[in-house]
Amino acid sequence: MRTSPKRPVFLNVTQIRLPIAGLASILHRITGALMVVSMPFVIHLLSRSLSGTEGFDAVRALLTGMFARMLLLLGLWVLLHHLLAGIRFLLIDIGIGVDKPMYRYSAWAATLAAPLLALALLGGLS
């Protein structure tokens, strides 16, 4: 009877070197889940802001604090990363950017452009 080699008991996730394309894929999934989870809160804020002048003023007051600005930055990053990575994956699906250097460049571009665009948009919102 053949015995299989012993499998590792403990896998140290911090020592795994994930390529940038894998990181972009994981972040795409995480940002999609964050968008779904935040949807009820965003819908509530939209509904409240459209209910009248008092509701609009209450939502505006809620979104002016520093903590709210950080949440807006996070929300913009989530939306932009999911959008850019989604476009990247659509292009890969039709055969554009499948080659080794190109898929790395596009993964870096989607990963780095999202927070920069979020910061630029947040600056434009004030």
DSSP string, the chain: -PPPPPPPS---GGG----HHHHHHHHHHHHHHHHHHHHHHHHHHHHHHHS-HHHHHHHHHHTTSHHHHHHHHHHHHHHHHHHHHHHHHHHHHTTTT-SHHHHHHHHHHHHHHHHHHHHHHHHHH-
pTM to 2 decimals?
0.81
pLDDT at 122: 87
Take residue 85 and report the two structure tokens written for it: 């990575």
Contact 25, 103 (CB under 8 A): no
pLDDT at 16: 78
CA–CA dist 98, 83 (Å, integer): 19
**What is the CATH architecture assignment of 20-125?**
Up-down Bundle (1.20)
pLDDT tens for the chain, 126 residues: list them. 566 677 766 777 777 788 999 999 999 999 999 999 999 999 999 999 999 999 999 999 999 889 999 999 999 999 999 999 999 999 999 999 888 899 999 999 999 999 999 999 988 766
CA–CA dist 75, 35 (Å, integer): 8
pLDDT at 126: 62
CA–CA dist 105, 20 (Å, integer): 9
Contact 114, 123 (CB under 8 A): no
